[in-house]
Structure 1
Amino acid sequence: MTNGFDMGTRRFGRVNWMGLWTLASREIQRFLAVWTQTLLAPLVTAGLFLMIFTIAIGSRRGDVMGVDFMTFLAPGILMMAVIQNAFANTSSSIVIAKVQGNIVDTLMPPLSPAELVLGYLAGGIGRGLMVALLVVLGLWVFLGIGVVHPVWALVFIVLGSAFLGALGMIAGIFANKFDQMAAVTNFIVTPLAFLSGTFYSVEALPPVLRQITHFNPVFYLIDGLRFGMIGVSDSAPALGLVIVLLSTLAVAAIAWLMMARGYRLKA
């Protein structure tokens, strides 16, 4: 156990709801305190992506999967903003605590490894949902793009936030300094986001690259959200849902195991 207590002696029952709520609230308040960086900046970035593509390509680009290019592009930009911010929320929280030497303040309270994982994920999912809401509102106001299947869209946004939030926990636990964290972001997270059908349909890829893309869980996140927003997709949404759910559970299990063993967390 990371915090060295016996689960059988806890006075809180099987789940320390108060402790879990406190950790989740701390993680949410942490990004709300700097909302211009954590919420406004992603909205501006998404808007810049769409504006640049509109100016550079615009009407000269033909339809993709039966819809105009900007409508096709919007869900990919939205999911990219969601997953990057969910990853940043959990990873930065852990790395900053490790660098400042106050990670012990999180590990010492009577919270089980599962409760620690859920608390951190709550912050990542909360930030992902808020970013998604702002970007969706922007897409509706400026481009007139709505949401065709709201439930599907919400499910993939939550799963995307959870998947990258858990991955951010793994990266944050592994990294001991900010340049290690930047390396993970630049060489893992960014390629996963950009090479997953964000800007193109995978049907346009050569067969080998198309097969490789189907091993990328982020492809199914973007494809599933695209179905939820505009009703078209490269693969079956139900298949994507299963793959993303299993991937999220696997990554969360690794984060739990690292927490349980105190990997790179204990001095």
Structure 2
Amino acid sequence: MTPRAVGRVLWLGAWTLFLRELRRYSKEALETVLAPAFQALVYFVILVFALGPERGTDEGEALLSHAVPGLILMAVLFRSAETTAFSLLLDRMEGIISDVLMAPLGAAEMTVAYALAGAVSGLATGVVVLAGAMLVWPLPPTHFWALPVFAALSALMMSLAGMLIGLFCEKWDHMAAAFVFVLTPLTFLSGVFAPVDTLPAAAAFAVRFNPIFHAIEGFRYGFLGSGTGADPLASLAVVAGTVVFLLACNGVVIHRGYKLKP
């Protein structure tokens, strides 16, 4: 029997790994889809009641309109990062990663497969959150092109960040600490609920160096148009540049087999 020829890129292997990760995500739909949607709704309800006497005023409605895009993208960001971080850490701790390493997959193929699966899972969750948000607070988009572009790039960015967490962490406590002490503050302080200009001047200046801030502001631009905290094209460049940087980092780490090979 003539051996099957394998090209420079094993597309079938990458596609198979991608599908495996999506199946893993879909089997936990209650946790991966409904839970983030419910969490975003709870945040919105809390914000509505926290407005108090401002509820129903122009200022209150402006704040809610500002917060809704942030809540939607926050669900996308966290789900994308959690998917890849969980998958890689679980595979490493259970020894399942050996099955992936035995396949003729290169570092680039593994990186792309894991990253795209995490991004797709985050976007699927975001669609559910978006549908629920539009039911309780209709917000027609102003620049529709920005919504899928920033959502896709942001999901890919956080999926790659989650990969690094899954590759470097040794146990579940480490992963939880990375999310609680790193990703959560970086996200919550990036203008999810209120404009960053409300922060102290030094903090507002520092936040503008955070790619998550640019992801949220770019996505918010799709709904609200002008008046967001950053130029949309500059934000697009920052998020895209971060994706390229994280792709390279993950490719190097996986190529070297860091904490993947005994």
TM-score range, shorter chain: over 0.9
| Partners of 1:91 and 1:169 within 8 A in 2 | yes
AA at the equivalent of 2:253: M
2:71 counterpart of 1:77: yes
AA at the equivalent of 1:191: P
Cα distance, 1:117 vs. partner? 0.5
2:123 pairs with one of 121, 125, 129: 129
Q: CA RMSD in A?
A: 1.8
**TM-score in terms of structure 1 length:** 0.92
In the alignment of these two chains, the number of paired residues is 258
1:58/1:73 CA distance change after superposition, 3 Å: farther
* 1:211-248 deviation digits (Å, cap 9, x = unpaired): 10111100001100100122241111000000111111
1:228 pairs with one of 222, 230, 251: 222
1:27 pairs with one of 21, 24, 32: 21
AA at the equivalent of 1:263: Y
Aligned to 1:249: 244
Aligned to 2:259: 264
Cα distance, 1:129 vs. partner? 1.0
Moved more, 90-99 or 9-18: 9-18
Cα distance, 1:154 vs. partner? 0.7
| Partners of 2:189 and 2:196 within 8 A in 1 | no
**TM-score in terms of structure 2 length:** 0.94
| Partners of 1:27 and 1:122 within 8 A in 2 | no
2:107 counterpart of 1:113: yes
2:133 counterpart of 1:139: yes
Instruction: Note the 1:28-47 alignment, pairs <5 A.
Output: 28-47=22-41
**Distance in 1 (alpha carbons) for counterparts of 2:71 and 2:4:** 45
AA at the equivalent of 2:115: L
1:67/1:235 CA distance change after superposition, 3 Å: farther
2:156 pairs with one of 142, 159, 162: 162
Cα distance, 1:63 vs. partner? 5.2
Stretches of structure 2 lacking an aligned partner (at least 5 in a row) = none
Cα distance, 1:13 vs. partner? 1.2
Stretches of structure 1 lacking an aligned partner (at least 5 in a row) = 1-8
1:151 pairs with one of 142, 145, 151: 145
1:18 pairs with one of 2, 6, 12: 12
1:205/1:10 CA distance change after superposition, 3 Å: farther
Aligned to 1:239: 234
Q: SS state of the match for residue 235, structure 1? A: coil
Moved more, 11-20 or 157-166: 11-20
**Distance in 2 (alpha carbons) for counterparts of 1:111 and 1:10:** 15
Aligned to 1:5: none
Cα distance, 1:58 vs. partner? 5.2
Cα distance, 1:10 vs. partner? 9.0
| Partners of 1:86 and 1:161 within 8 A in 2 | yes
**Distance in 2 (alpha carbons) for counterparts of 1:250 and 1:59:** 46
Aligned to 1:68: 62
| Partners of 1:148 and 1:230 within 8 A in 2 | yes
**Distance in 1 (alpha carbons) for counterparts of 2:201 and 2:187:** 20
1:40/1:250 CA distance change after superposition, 3 Å: same
1:207/1:179 CA distance change after superposition, 3 Å: same
AA at the equivalent of 1:216: N
Instruction: Note the 1:43-54 alignment, pairs <5 A.
Output: 43-54=37-48
Q: SS state of the match for residue 150, structure 1? A: coil
1:18/1:10 CA distance change after superposition, 3 Å: same
* 1:236-267 deviation digits (Å, cap 9, x = unpaired): 10000001111111112111100000001112
